[in-house]
Structure 1
């Protein structure tokens, strides 16, 4: 028993752990149900892709158009806009719809839209003169490159990742994989990690901190304009919400006998060698990508788009402010991977693995990781991603590769949104 366990009555710790579990379960269940009412980011992504296809069409060779564009991008965009609810269309989408409907009178266009390349081209094409001079070659070429990056790179990633995954499966079946190191980590009890995850990560961070932090953040960002205000709010809220869990973990680790810590420390960061950490992170990212993509595809085919996308995705898609994008990128690529990997793969996974075995520890920590994002639509794909991150942590015996893999996953997702 750790010194922290001796300072507090085991009955009180058990009571606090049980109460934390009850409250965390209620918070997560309520959040998952509420996420069903949040819109999915998929329609926005589809519209962005169709707009990009229409812009790029003049610069794409006819032989490549079936691959990059699919069908007629103009007709696809028109059908998507007509199929959306009028209440869900913003002013720009309503204007695009009016310009694409050739059987309707062209709408009145405000001056603020004349810098938009797609709107400017559609206005030109509605004029009685020839449409040949309406295409901006530079804009079309840039759109074609963006379309190629957003479409072909994910496809290549899935193909390469599938190949690597197949190679690993064959090597495993032939018994050629190196044995995994023992799962080392902090010598915490199940009650300790319940207090850490349920009490610190969920109850205090998700409920108590926002009650205190949100009014302060709102007053601090009152003078900022949107979307910069939202981006600053995201960074501050996420940083403040991470503090209780990190403080609890710090106190728990400080109470453990330092002499009993395994080589590399309780969290097993093991910073060196860097090349091995990077190669493990890249390999894990490549191999988990096709599985996550397949899981998302199967989910849509079975139940449709469940909605509940991460609000951060909508902020990135809707923002053109450089500082806002930098702040959102900092949260997604640096803060989130560090914090979440320390909690779920640094502390939780080793305790569960030592208690119930590696397989159970990997799956259970991944499921809790997915539930912590409180998004019903992303629950299955994030569970698969969590399994991939946990396998990298277990197979390398290090926390650093899983942090780098998590950061790489978020960075690629973020860059894909920026490309669109």
Structure 2
């Protein structure tokens, strides 16, 4: 939440009428998408697709385009809706570095993964991805929607997300085993981990803010807590946020080499879509700015820590391993490699990454709990000690406290 809203500097994208992109820019994008140089935009309208609290690094717009193009000698009219994502800028007009990584993933990594498995991955692909704007297809009209984050995922819905993660991870394992040199080259285009040196200071700052909010709620609840709750509160907050960060970083760095995959890196409710009618057997993964080299359990930990509904995690891990094995077997990966990714191994990785689960919950519990949103400027101008009071005005306090205690009781041993 350290980025102030500002327009990207590219003149092709700047637009004075409040639209996220110019008509000329969208026209160029659609020509490339339709592979037709005759495409012309006749009308264009836009609306916010997400509120600030739904995406803290970018503004997200839904742009509706009415246009026409010449095809087989005939003029064809068409209407299409696309999603335009533009990063917030800091006071030096610099976008988050992760936006650069997102364009790399769309432009380089996904093509390589899909080519090696010779099929499409369950992700929403970009139409155009640059460091100052990402344009993707809009799947809302196809019946896809973000889950309701405070309601969370049922066992069945969580299994669909798990299957999509397994497919994504399997593709990177196939690539790493079939073309290790290419895999290593592509690894340079993603974050080595979310706790990397390149964003360490930002991570520590935002974590310290989240820690202050959580500690404020926990301290207020402590006089009413039972013995077990009081014990985990005191144990957890006996550490500083920097100490927790270092523990999570160390755990991430200790992932065995064979288990390094391209993980989504930020697998919570705002980064995947499910069919509104609950059909289909998988989810769509979106927002790929945080794809990183990590343990496959990293994504499972994020999903478990941010899902308010009680689910059978053991059963979901079994679903994950089954889907992973199925995809690896389909691409002739040797059994001795497949067997390394056993249920027991994934369970041990989830346990090893408990501090990552705790930090994930602290980081994301605030945006999950928002009912209204403070402005970026309003939040950033406050000292850390004053931010818990502002956050408390905008979140579902009862929900936040309940989830905080559930996560602490489950993960603080």
TM-score normalised to structure 2 length: 0.24
| Larger proportion of strand | 2
| Larger proportion of helix | 1
